[in-house]
């Protein structure tokens, strides 16, 4: 597996592994022993970047990743996240939570999350500690300062942000260098190209795209007949209504034509396209199956020529994607 340098000395495999789906969001949690086996097989195949968060589960995914990777801890980079107030924690006003997951990036909360995550991950240091979503009630300078202190104490190696806007990125970076930004970026969601990517390049910050396969849509295996149960987040996403899926199939079909010519799958072309955008991009497709893991990792060996890239850009920019990626209340948490 090829390696990439993302920023501030962070080196990772060109393709990482997003672990959220092993514990939530795409149906019931998967069998623990099977997922531990998959995580270890990913390491054997050269994956070094593994992405989790305290909120995944909540807590269960960190515990899973910690158990799976503890025997190979010196060979991997583990990224986790803070920023949510998760039941049964108290609310900011001291009263018990009654439902939902509010934001909480107060410095004292960041420290508490770090200490708990270290225990669940069975490690002495968190390689990348992301703010999961920007908290408008806490100045980003205070957040960056809290993470800086954890770095000085040897509990965290690198500071990351997730779905932050360019103003927030600049302000945070001035206090504690940001190594990586994690944001959605794919052939199905190209908005980071407008303002975010230029700022990352200017500041020397890497990008870790999540959902690089459009939550499965860019694999070509989902059409308007697809159904999602209540435990699958796609059942509530505007882009996954039957009408939107039918309209957006044109995008996958164009990618599929290119994939056929390259003797690849649509998923591999989507990942290879991301890798070709910048040398400091490392996507983290998620999966719970070994065959899909191997398919995704093989994308790192696919070379797209300038003509291929122009064809892909022409095909995808001519097709208007239908449907918002999130419901309005979730989209409001991004880009701040």
Q: How far from 164 is each of 12, 267, 291, CA to CA, in Å?
A: 22, 26, 33
Q: How far apart are CA 331 and CA 66, in angstroms?
A: 30
Q: Which has the closest alpha carbon to 172: 83, 278, 87, 47? A: 83
C-beta separation of 138 from 108 below 8 A = no
Tokens 């159904």 belong to residue:
227
Would you state the structure tokens that stand for residue 52, as one six-digit string?
């989790």
Q: Which has the closest alpha carbon to 107: 131, 123, 133, 87? A: 131
Q: How many CB atoms lie within 10 A of CB 227?
A: 8
Q: Which has the closest alpha carbon to 184: 196, 169, 198? A: 196
Strand runs labelled E in 193-311: 206-210
The answer to whether 26 is a known catalytic residue is: no
- The conformational region for residue 298 under phi > 0 = left, psi -120 to 50 = alpha, else beta, is alpha
Q: How far apart are CA 76 and CA 25, in angstroms?
A: 25
Tokens 């200490």 belong to residue:
115
- Burial profile 247-277: b = 16 or more Cβ within 10 angstroms, e = fewer: bbbbbbebbbebbeebebbbbbbbbbbbbbb
SS3 190: coil
Q: How far from 24 is each of 58, 60, 61, 81, 115, CA to CA, in Å?
A: 9, 9, 8, 16, 23
Q: How far apart are CA 60 and CA 77, in angstroms?
A: 19
**What does DSSP assign to residue 22?**
G
Q: How many CB atoms lie within 10 A of CB 195?
A: 14
Catalytic-role residue among 56, 130, 185, 326: 56
Q: List the catalytic residues.
A: 56
């Amino acid at each position: 597996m090829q390696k990439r340098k993302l920023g501030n000395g962070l080196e990772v495999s060109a393709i990482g592994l997003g672990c959220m789906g092993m514990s939530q969001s795409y149906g019931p949690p998967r069998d623990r022993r099977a997922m531990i086996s998959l995580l270890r097989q990913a390491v054997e195949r050269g994956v070094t970047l593994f992405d989790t968060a305290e909120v995944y589960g909540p807590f269960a995914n960190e515990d899973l990743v910690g158990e799976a990777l503890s025997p190979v801890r010196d060979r991997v980079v583990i990224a986790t996240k803070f920023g949510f107030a998760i039941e049964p924690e108290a609310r900011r006003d001291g009263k018990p939570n009654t439902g939902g997951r509010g934001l909480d990036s107060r410095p004292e909360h960041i420290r508490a999350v770090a200490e708990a995550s270290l225990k669940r991950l069975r490690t002495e240091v968190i390689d990348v500690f992301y703010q999961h979503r920007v908290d408008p009630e806490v100045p980003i300078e205070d957040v960056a300062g809290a993470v800086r202190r954890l770095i000085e104490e040897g509990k965290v190696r690198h500071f990351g942000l997730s779905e932050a806007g360019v103003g927030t990125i600049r302000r945070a970076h001035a206090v504690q260098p940001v190594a990586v930004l994690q944001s959605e970026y794919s052939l199905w969601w190209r908005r980071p190209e407008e303002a975010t990517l230029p700022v990352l390049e200017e500041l020397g910050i890497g990008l870790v795209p999540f959902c690089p396969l459009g939550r499965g849509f860019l694999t070509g295996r989902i059409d308007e007949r697809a159904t999602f149960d209540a435990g699958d987040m796609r059942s509530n996403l505007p882009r996954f209504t039957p009408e939107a899926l039918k309209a957006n199939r044109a995008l996958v079909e164009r990618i599929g034509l290119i994939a056929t010519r390259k003797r690849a799958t649509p998923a591999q072309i989507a990942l290879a396209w991301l890798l070709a955008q910048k040398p400091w991009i490392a996507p983290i497709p998620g999966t719970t199956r070994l065959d899909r893991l191997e398919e995704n990792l093989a994308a790192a060996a696919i070379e797209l020529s300038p003509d291929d890239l122009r064809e892909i850009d022409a095909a995808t920019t001519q097709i208007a994607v239908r449907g918002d990626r999130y419901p309005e209340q979730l989209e409001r948490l991004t880009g701040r």
